[in-house]
Chains A and B, each alone.
Chain A
Amino acid sequence: MPREQIDLRCQVTHLSVLDEDGSFDEALAPEVSDDLLLHMHRSMLLARRFDERMLKLQRQGRIGTFAPVSGQEAAQVGAMAALTEKDWFVPSFREFAASIWRGLPLKQLLLYNAGYNEGGAVPDDAHDLPIAIPVATQIPHAVGLAYAAYYRDTGALAITFFGDGATSEGDFHEAINFAGVFAAPVIFLCQNNQWAISVPREHQTHSRTLAQKALAYSVPGIQADGNDVLAVLAATREAAERARNGDGPTMIECITYRLSVHTTADDPSKYRSDEEVEAWRRRDPIPRLQSHLKAQELLSDEEIDKLEQDIAAEIDDAWEQAQTEMHRLGSAEAMFEHHYAALPAYLRRQRDGLRRDRGQER
C-alpha cells in the first residue's frame, strides 16, 4: 500500500583512457599488443585520407553524394578491433572506417559511391551486412543475427552502428527491448556525433545521456570517449564478454563528433559554428593516438610520413581499379539482377525490351 522507492540502480559510467591532453590511464587501458595498436592507427588514418579523397572526387563530380566519416574513426575502429571476423557487423551509412577494418576493398566503396550497385556486394565469407540508409532500420537485424548465432551456437555476436538521431526512432527501442527480452548477444554501438543533420544532440532528446535509454530495458548502457580508441576498445571488449557469456546485450554510447558535412549535399554553416568545430578538432582521435604511439616509441614522424605515402598510393590504386571496373560494368541490364532468386518471366520480358531499345550498347 505505501508509496515505496524501487531501487533500479540505474547508473551510466563514462570511460576515458587516453584524453586529448595526452593523459593516459594505465589502470583503465585495455591489454593491447603493439601490432594491434599500429593496425588500429593505420586503419584510422586510411579511413581519414580515404574520406578526404572521396570528398575531392565528389566535388569534381566523379562520385555521388556520400556521408563522410571524419572524426569518428576511433569509435568505429576501436569497436571492431574488439571483435572477431566471425562476429556480425551491421552498419548504417557512415561506417567506412569500420568497413575498412573489416577488409572491404576501397575499390568497392568507390564503386558504391560512384552509383554502381555492384559496390554493395558483400564477399561470401564476410559476416557483414551492406549499408542501410533509413535511420535505425538496421538495428533489429543485428538482434536477429545475434539470436540466430546463439540458436546455432556459433559463439558469434553482432554489433550494430547507429547515431544519436537513431535513438529517437521506434526501430531502436523495439530492437533493444527485444534483445533484452531474449538476452541476444548483441552490441548496440551508438556514435553520438552531436548532430543529426541540423538537429543538435540537446534538441534530439530530452534524455541526459543516450546510454541511459538502454537502462529503460534493463540493458547495461555505458558511455565512452568515442575519440579515444582505447576507451572504445575496452568498452566493446567488456560488452563482447558479456554477450559471449550469455549475459545479453549492451549499449555503448561513444561521444564523438562529425567533423565534416552530414553528407556532401549538406551545408553545416547553416546550423553550427566554426568555433564548435574547431574545439572538436582539438579532440581529433587520430593526432591523439599518434601522440600516444610516439610517447610509447611505437611510431616516429618518419614512419608516419612513410605510412601517409603508402596510404596515398593505396587510395590511388583503388581509384584506378574502380575506374577500370566502372568501364567494365557499363550495361544497364544489371538493374534487373538480384531481385529474386530467379528472374520472373515478366521481368525477363522487360529486360529483353530494354536490351532491344538499347541495341546500340554493348
Chain B
Amino acid sequence: MADSEAKGAPERTMAEALNLALTQEMEQDDSLVVLGEDVGVDGGVFRVTEGLLDKYGESRVMDTPLAEAAIVGVSVGMAAHGLKPVCEAQFSGFSYLAMHQLEAHAARLRWRSRGRFPVPMVVRMPYGGGVRALEHHSESKEAFFAHTPGLKVVIPSGPRNARALLLSAIRDPDPVIFMEPKRLYRAFREPVPDAPETIPIGESQSRRDGDDLTLVAYGAMLRPTLQAAEQLADADGVEAEVIDLLSISPLDDRRFSASARRTGRVVIVHEAQRSFGPGAEIIARLVEQSFWYLEAPVVRVTGYDVQVPYFAREADYLPDLERIVAGAREVLSHA
C-alpha cells in the first residue's frame, strides 16, 4: 500500500471508502450479507451502507428489527453456515446489548467445536467522541473486545486504511470487531484507489520517522498526534516516530518495541479511558520486552477514568494537541 499507487486515485471520505469496500466485496462474493438497524432503506445512520440495498436486494441487505443480541447472534449462525455476515451495531454504545453473543459465542464457537465452526463475521461499529452526540454515542471501549480471546479488534485512522482494513476483516476467517472513529467519517478526503487493497490484521504502520521519541496512537487520535510531532519538531527540535496501531488485537508489539529500543521514550495516546485500556497493555509489553532500553517513564495521554461527559465538556475529556505535546515534553524532561 505505497502512497505512489494512490496518485490520481479518487478522493474519498472514510464513509465512502468503507462503502467502496462493502460494494466491491459484495459484488465478487455472494456469501457476504449486511445486516443491522437502518442499514438498508436509510443506508445506515452514517450512510456507510448507502446504495447496497438497491444493488443487492433484501436477501443480502437486511433492515433488522431493533434487536442487537439477535443481530450478532443471527450473524454467528450465518457464519457457522459459511456466510460472511457484516453486521452493524449502530453505535458502539449499543453493542453491549450483544455482548453475550460476542463473548459466549462469536469468540468461542471455533474453539468450542474444535475447529468445525469458524465464525468469519465482522461487527462494524461507529465509536469515539467529537461529534457533540448524546450519551452512549461517544465512548471508546475497544478494551472490552480486545480482552476477549477469539475476537480481533481493528481501528482505521483514515479513508484509505479504513477500506483496506475492512476488506481484510471481511476476508479474515475469524470474528473481527471493526471500530470506525465516527468523527472521521467525513472529516477529510484522501486518494483511495479503485483496485482493492488490504492491510494485514495485526500489523501497525509507521506514519512519521524519528529517533528521539515514539508516539503511539490510533483512530481519531492519529491526526492530533501527527500534529504534535510536527510541533515538537518545530518548537523543540525533537523528531518523533509516530506509530498508527490499526490493530488493537492482535497487538503488533514488534514495531513499537523496536521504536522504543531506538528512542527510549514513549507516549501512548488514546481516547479510551486510561485504566486497563490499550495503553496499559502496550506499557506492559514494553516493560516485558524493552525494559532496559527505556530512558524515561512511559506517559499515557488518554481519556480520564470517567464516563465520557455530555458534549458540553467532551472536549475536556478527549486528548488534544496540547495534552499530547505536554505528555511528550514530560517524557523528554527526564535526563
**Residues of A at under 8 Å CB distance from B?**
64-66, 93, 112, 114-117, 119-120, 131, 133-137, 165-166, 168-171, 196-199, 203-205, 263, 265-266, 270-271, 326, 329, 332, 334-336, 339, 346-347, 350-351, 354, 357-358
Contact = CB atoms under 8 A, between A and B. Distances in A.
Interface centre among A114, A131, A335 (most CB of B within 10 A): A335
B275 A115 contact: no
16 contacts: A65-B132, A65-B134, A115-B132, A117-B313, A133-B135, A170-B67, A170-B69, A170-B97, A204-B65, A332-B309, A335-B306, A335-B309, A335-B313, A335-B316, A339-B306, A351-B304
Contacts of A169: 66-68, 97
A271 B41 contact: yes
Contacts of B314: 115
B306 A168 contact: no
A64 B133 contact: yes
A271 B97 CA distance: 26
B307 A270 contact: no
Interface of B: 37-38, 40-43, 45, 63-70, 93-94, 96-97, 132-136, 274-275, 304-307, 309-314, 316-317, 323, 326
A165 B66 contact: yes
Given A64-B134, A197-B37, A336 B304 contact: yes
A66 B135 CA distance: 11
A204 B63 CA distance: 9
A338 B58 CA distance: 46
Nearest to B98: A170
A151 B51 CA distance: 54
A196 B40 CA distance: 13
A112 B40 CA distance: 32
Nearest to B96: A134
Given A133-B135, A169-B97, A198-B42, A335 B67 contact: no
B304 A134 contact: no
Nearest to A336: B306
A124 B295 CA distance: 53
B308 to A, nearest CB: 8
B47 to A, nearest CB: 10
- Which among A119, A198, A270, A358 has the greatest number of chain B C-beta atoms within 10 A? A198
Contact of B312 (A116, A266, A336): A116
B274 to A, nearest CB: 8
Contact of B305 (A165, A326, A346): A346
Nearest to A332: B316
A266 B133 CA distance: 13
A168 B42 contact: no
Contacts of B43: 270
B309 A117 contact: yes
A334 B42 contact: no
